A and B are shown apart, each in its own frame.
Chain A
């Protein structure tokens, strides 16, 4: 119990860093995911095939392999080009989380756009809207409420997956927990339980809020 008193402040700082990683990576993933979704839906092979390959590759490789690839693989290359200031856990972690989740968000976007009724698009075209106008003014606004619950779920998944940044020695909750347990000479189970509890404190409220909105959405439809 003595170790808990000693470590609770660093743990809170670590939890804050975890949140920062996610808050930066998630918008990145959303933007890239939207781009990928639009590319995948394109009629041009030179746009749709790269997007499809990106999505399949990032969804079927472990995130730990990706983060090793980004941090140790590309990090070693960066030094050759005098870009070693970018060779740190913040850049690698945010890049890896952003790219990985972009692949998932692209599928969420696609499902959201598909669930907007086809008749809406047909009506827009028959009213003389262009493709871009139809997308931004008709389909996109209607899809947003449908896509919000899966986005919130993916944000929670990202919160949990950001623990992987500890393997490239970034400073976030898991790595601080590991440092604490490494330095602790007594029973380490309370420290692990405190780390797990902090993750729960971060993820459970978000998931309850998401479920509440999902229920309201379902009632509204």
Chain B
């Protein structure tokens, strides 16, 4: 039996001396890991920053960063849920039979996708929020507090600093409004990718248009939209780092705060590299998890 040939025999063979570099590469990788371990050990045993409470060694960073990772993930989760709501509304608008709804949704998508998210966040927090608080006396903290009181669980938000909450609130609004536009397109293309025959079959079986949407088209569309949704969630985690510009104390803000107080520029660089690698570990492991889940649950009916 002849095996299937993946690469034709006529393709040039790699030169042997170039393959030798592979072993050199593994050696260098090993050396780099050992070197990094030594570097870490060196700074672990040396106090780095002098704070009011005394000397703060590097061991302290990890719990601080872990705590702020919680904040970052919380912001991302809430924004993602809100963005899904915006995305659903937007997609309903874009697929609507009423033309003005379609135009409104199209303007929403085009404007949001054509402008930087950073400028949008500044617009919400330093533009809209200021105007609302001056002219309408709008206070998001009071809003949430009253809402939680209504649910008889205001103790959850009782010990949050109200002045910090403002940036938090408008940051989440900005993030979710931005991602809502991208998700609008995801949901719209999901619905449009379901074969037209499915809707025709459902309608001819006597389902009304609402039942067709809910029972036939949406379940199939959601399965298609899940992979892009997880992708957008991971980019949302990355973009939530922009909230540090508004003064929200999340992961990025914490990394900068650790680095700014350093006098030694080598240590400064080390903290930034450490922070970037920390972000990489968080986002990349989530991406791997998403890929794994996709491969497990992507089976069709």
Smallest CB separation, B248 vs chain A (Å): 13
Q: Which of B80-88, B109-117, B192-200 contacts A (4 or more CB under 8 A)?
A: B109-117
> Which of B19, B118, B245 lies at the interface centre, i.e. has the most chain A CB atoms within 10 A of its CB?
B118
Complex: A46 Cα to B22 Cα, angstroms: 5
> Which of B25, B114, B269 lies at the interface centre, i.e. has the most chain A CB atoms within 10 A of its CB?
B114
Query: What are the interface flags for B18-40 relative to A under an 8 Å C-beta threshold, 1 for contact and 0 otherwise?
Result: 11011011100100000000000
| Interface residue B234 (Cβ < 8 Å from any Cβ of A) | yes
Q: How large is the interface on B (under 10, 10 to 19, 20 to 34, 35 or more residues)?
A: 35 or more
Do A44 and B22 touch across chains, with their CB atoms under 8 A apart?
yes
| Interface residue A4 (Cβ < 8 Å from any Cβ of B) | no
Query: What are the interface flags for A171-186 relative to B under an 8 Å C-beta threshold, 1 for contact and 0 otherwise?
Result: 0001001100100000
| Residues of A close to B245: CB separation below 8 A | 64, 167
| Residues of A close to B119: CB separation below 8 A | 163, 174, 177, 192, 195-196, 199
Q: Which of A32-40, A66-74, A142-150 contacts B (4 or more CB under 8 A)?
A: A66-74
| Interface residue B266 (Cβ < 8 Å from any Cβ of A) | yes
Do B10 and A192 touch across chains, with their CB atoms under 8 A apart?
no
> Which of B10, B127, B128, B130 lies at the interface centre, i.e. has the most chain A CB atoms within 10 A of its CB?
B127
The binding surface of chain B is classed by DSSP as helix
Do A62 and B279 touch across chains, with their CB atoms under 8 A apart?
yes
| Interface residue B49 (Cβ < 8 Å from any Cβ of A) | no
Do A163 and B118 touch across chains, with their CB atoms under 8 A apart?
yes
Complex: A58 Cα to B108 Cα, angstroms: 30
Smallest CB separation, A87 vs chain B (Å): 11
| Interface residue B165 (Cβ < 8 Å from any Cβ of A) | no
Query: What are the interface flags for B227-267 relative to A under an 8 Å C-beta threshold, 1 for contact and 0 otherwise?
Result: 00000001000110110110000001001100100000110
Interface size on A, residues (CB 8 A): 53
Q: Which residues of B come within 8 Å of A, CB atoms?
A: 8, 10-12, 14, 18-19, 21-22, 24-26, 29, 110-111, 114-120, 122-123, 126-128, 130-131, 234, 238-239, 241-242, 244-245, 252, 255-256, 259, 265-266, 268-269, 271-273, 275-277, 279-280, 283-284, 287
Q: Which residues of A come within 8 Å of B, CB atoms?
A: 43-47, 49, 56-57, 60-66, 68-69, 72-74, 76-77, 79-80, 122, 125-126, 130-131, 156, 160-164, 166-167, 174, 177-178, 181, 187-189, 192-193, 195-196, 199-200, 203-204, 207
